[in-house]
């Protein structure tokens, strides 16, 4: 019985690299729709199930997601949705791992480009105003472990 590990660079649930600059840089991630994470998790489970079937696997052992800190997705809510939705799917016995993707910010004062794992408006180097440079907006199914 060998484990197969697949890597899927594809984006789940239509998330792309959503630049915070498009949203004015402030308050992005607020005002989420209710059940946002549940519908994302449904897509994740569907995609994972389809990949497992394609690989001829019986079960999904592990699902790894990469969640950008600016994606507006709450990891705890994803885990909660996973627990509620996995029954009856090939992922019923699977472990969910969530890896956070940082965003790269840029300081308007000193030009520093700190990579941070949480939203911040103050430069860690000089205290100046930060804007988002890139990254942090993705939600990606990064790895599946199948059996
Ligand atoms: Zn600075």
139-146 and 4-7 strand pairing: antiparallel
Taking residue 111's Cβ as centre, other Cβ atoms within 10 Å add up to: 11
Compute, in angstroms, the gap from residue 74 CA to the centroid of ligand 1.
Answer: 28
Compute, in angstroms, the gap from residue 20 CA to the centroid of ligand 1.
Answer: 19
The strand pairing partners of 129, in sequence order, are 122
The residues, any chain, with a CB within 8 Å of residue 33's CB and separated by 6 or more, are none
Q: Which of 38, 91, 83 is nearest to 61 (CA)?
A: 91
Does residue 110 lie in a domain region?
A: no
Task: Give residue-wise pLDDT tens across range 84-104.
Answer: 999 999 999 999 999 999 999
- The domain total for the chain is 1
Task: Give residue-wise pLDDT tens across range 109-143.
Answer: 999 999 999 989 999 999 999 999 998 888 888 88
Compute, in angstroms, the gap from residue 107 CA to the centroid of ligand 1.
Answer: 5
**Residue ranges making up the domain that contains 75:** 4-99+139-146
Does residue 46 lie in a domain region?
A: yes
């Amino acid at each position: 019985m060998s484990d197969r590990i697949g890597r899927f660079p594809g984006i789940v649930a239509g998330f792309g690299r959503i630049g915070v600059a498009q949203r004015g840089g402030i308050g992005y991630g607020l005002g989420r729709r209710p059940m946002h994470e549940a519908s994302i998790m449904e897509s994740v489970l569907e995609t994972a199930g389809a990949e497992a079937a394609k690989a001829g696997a019986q079960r999904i052992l592990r699902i790894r997601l990469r969640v950008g800190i600016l994606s507006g997705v709450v990891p705890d809510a994803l885990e909660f949705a996973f627990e509620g939705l996995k029954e009856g799917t090939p992922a019923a016995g699977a472990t969910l791992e969530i890896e956070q993707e940082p965003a790269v910010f840029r300081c308007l004062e000193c030009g520093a480009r700190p990579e941070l794992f949480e939203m911040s408006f103050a430069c860690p180097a000089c205290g100046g105003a930060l804007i988002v440079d890139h990254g942090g907006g993705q939600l990606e199914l990064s790895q599946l472990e199948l059996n």
